[in-house]
Structure 1
Amino acid sequence: MKENKFLAIYNDLLLQIRKGAFQPNEKLPSENELSQQYRTSRETIRKALNLLSEHGYIQKIKGKGSIVLDVGKYDFPVSGLVSFKELAQKMNKPARTIVHELELIEPDEYIKRQLETENKEKVWKVIRAREIEGEKIILDKDFLCQKFVPILTRDICENSIYEYVENELKLRISFAKKEMFVDRVTAEDQKYLDLNGYEHVVVVKNFVYLEDASLFQFTESRHRLDKFRFVDFARRTHQPHLLP
């Protein structure tokens, strides 16, 4: 019976969110208020709220309660390999890139391992915040091998590094390996992003390869978790029938 009760509450709250009774960034009533409204225990309410959180409809923020997320999130292609400029054009939203750091460095051991570089190879370090509709919601930390990208300027980084690499350097970007996980926000995230009280970000690590399978870029892209829906397309490969 309790199981049916919390699912019924979950479905009712979800229907209200979808109909717009609760707007994005609006706070849901407290657990006490909801328990009185639905005439049930706080434990049952907590189960319903946890399910809403797991499915991406609300975010529980310490000291603020349960905040309704924007279900019209930006689609971010997991399997695709697109630049931020291309993504912004596809979304047709006002967007800009803010370059915070651009320097040629001797990479530390961590970056050397990610890029599989030799000891004396130098690497471009680029730190950029991505702003969409007036909010800085992505922090990109790019590391590119100088042997493939000899020159890099602030103008290039503000526009599109991929566009420069392909059109000016005539290199062909071929494929990427990706890793995704959720991480707690860092001091750097707090400095460069509009976090709006969120304590976690979605991190996508990209290892980007050229046509000859040379690894030329490593990127750690940190996304505010309420603003993106990570999408992919999967097709089942059917195994050939084996004869008995």
Structure 2
Amino acid sequence: GIGISVHGAYRVCTERTVCAMPEAAIGFFPDVGGSYFLPRLPGKMGIFLALTGYRLQGRDVFKAGIATHFVDTTNLKNLELDLMRLENPSLADIDRILSKFQEQCEIDYKKEFALKPVMGKMNTVFEADSVETIMNALQKEGSEWSRKQHEVLSKLSPTSLKVAFQQIKRGANMTLQDCLKMEYRMSQKFMQASDFHEGVRAVLIDKDNKPTWKPASLTEVTEDIVNSYFQQLPADKELKL
């Protein structure tokens, strides 16, 4: 649902919300406009989420800047009723109602943002100019958090990681429409390559969680390979918005 909701003016999460971009685990990339909204999150959180697939839960989705409001699930029906009563709703009217319900929430109100203790490390490590540099920085940093992130990244598609890294870098300076066009080109290339098919097999079909990535290492994913995922399609094959 994030592809539909995240580009809206208002995004409401609850204590049950789970948000993640785990596409690299199946040999794909953060699609549905990930190129646009991820690089616009605070610090280096966007590239961190794009590469690691880290799961944000509950109020953390709001604290990360992905949701605009937090509302308890027990209040959702009342929120819906109040919104439906608006005869000629404006954005200001909607914001007023959402803010009112958010102020009534008590769930996890004082709970610290799960990523707050590691934001400094995250911003330093994921500031790097390549995935290889990120991996080296995680090893050198040496904390339990860095060790875990290095372990996670080591299991993911090397192609997906390097393409996603370039995707987020490019998307930071593009409109949403241009990001979606770029992602469509990327999706067509991923359909031709093997990692997406292998990732789906390993994670979703056979569920052995033992994908055989091709190429198998970051060093084998050359700059030419990465750039091939962003090449324009024939005019009649391009996404038209």
Shorter-chain TM-score above 0.5: no
Q: Tell me which interval the TM-score lies in, with the shorter structure as reference length.
A: under 0.3
Higher relative contact order (CA closer than 8 Å, sequence separation 6+): 2
Instruction: Return the TM-score normalized by structure 1.
Output: 0.23
Question: Where is the strand percentage greater, Structure 1 or Structure 2?
Answer: 1
User: Which structure: greater helix fraction?
Assistant: 2
TM-score by length of 2: 0.23
